[in-house]
Amino acid sequence: METRITMKSCLYLIFCVMTPPLLVASEADTNEWGSVTCGAVMSLHRENSGTEPSTNSPINVDICLKNVSDKLFSVVRTSDPLTDFSFEVTSPSGKNVSPKKHSYQPSSPRFSDAIKPGEVFSFPKIDFRSVCELKVSGSYKVVAKTMISSSTGQSCEVASNPLNVSVK
C-alpha cells in the first residue's frame, strides 16, 4: 500500500499543530460555574490562585463555557477580550470599576466556535490587567459575561461565577 503525502494533508497537519486547543471535551480546571442560562454555564478562574498578586503583576484568568444542554450552541469571538466579554468589577470599597465594553470593529477578524452538548470551550488566557486597572490593594469581585447563540438562532447572555481577586 502506497502512502502519499499531499500539500493539503501537510497544511492540515501544520494547522492542527500550530492552533492552540480551545475546545476540550473534558471538565475544565475549575469547580466554580455561574448559573445555567440557555443550556450553558461559564467559569472564571485565576491562574496561580494560591498566590496574591501585587498591584503591578499580571493577573491571568481563564474563562470557560460548558454546554450542559442537549443542543449545539455557538460563540463568536475576536482577539479583543473587551469585545468578547463584559466584566462587572467591584472595588474593595464597593465601587463599580467595570471597564467599558468595546464595540465590534468590522475590520477585526471574528471566529465562530460550535460547542456540542457536554463539551467545555476554553477561551485564550487573558491578563486581567489589560482589561481593567486594579489600582487599590484589597479584594475585587469580578463577573464575566458573554453572548451565545443557540442552533435555533436565539441569543443569550451567560454570566460566570463571581471571582474574588485579592491584590496586595
Residue with cell 490593594: 137
Cα 81 to Cα 4, 17, 103, 144, 153: the distances in Å are 42, 24, 11, 10, 23
| CA separation for the pair 154, 101 (Å, rounded) | 22
Task: Indicate whether 72 belongs to any domain.
Answer: yes
Measure the N-to-C terminal CA separation of the chain; round to a whole number of Å.
65
| Residue 89 near residue 162, CB atoms below 8 Å | no
Task: Indicate whether 11 belongs to any domain.
Answer: no
Task: List, for residues 129-159, the tens digit of each pLDDT value.
Answer: 888 888 888 899 999 999 898 877 889 999 9
Task: Indicate whether 32 belongs to any domain.
Answer: yes
Per-residue pLDDT, 57: 76
Task: Indicate whether 156 belongs to any domain.
Answer: yes
* Of the listed ranges 15-29, 37-51, 52-66, the one predicted with least confidence: 15-29
Task: Indicate whether 146 belongs to any domain.
Answer: yes
Domain of 47?
22-167
Task: List, for residues 33-49, the tens digit of each pLDDT value.
Answer: 999 998 999 999 987 76
Of the candidates 63, 67, 23, 66, the residue with the CA atom closest to the CA atom of residue 47? 63
Per-residue pLDDT, 22: 37
Per-residue pLDDT, 54: 63
Number of domains observed in the structure of the chain: 1
Task: Indicate whether 3 belongs to any domain.
Answer: no
Task: List, for residues 75-134, the tens digit of each pLDDT value.
Answer: 888 877 778 889 999 999 999 999 887 776 776 777 888 999 999 999 888 888 888 888
Per-residue pLDDT, 69: 93
Of the candidates 156, 6, 168, the residue with the CA atom closest to the CA atom of residue 68? 156
Task: Indicate whether 141 belongs to any domain.
Answer: yes
Spatial CB neighbours of 53, under 8 Å, sequence gap ≥ 6: 59, 165, 167, 168
Q: What CATH number should be reported for the domain holding residue 102?
A: 2.60.40.2360
| CA separation for the pair 149, 110 (Å, rounded) | 15
Task: Indicate whether 160 belongs to any domain.
Answer: yes
Grouping H, G, I as helix, E, B as strand and the rest as coil, residue 128 is helix
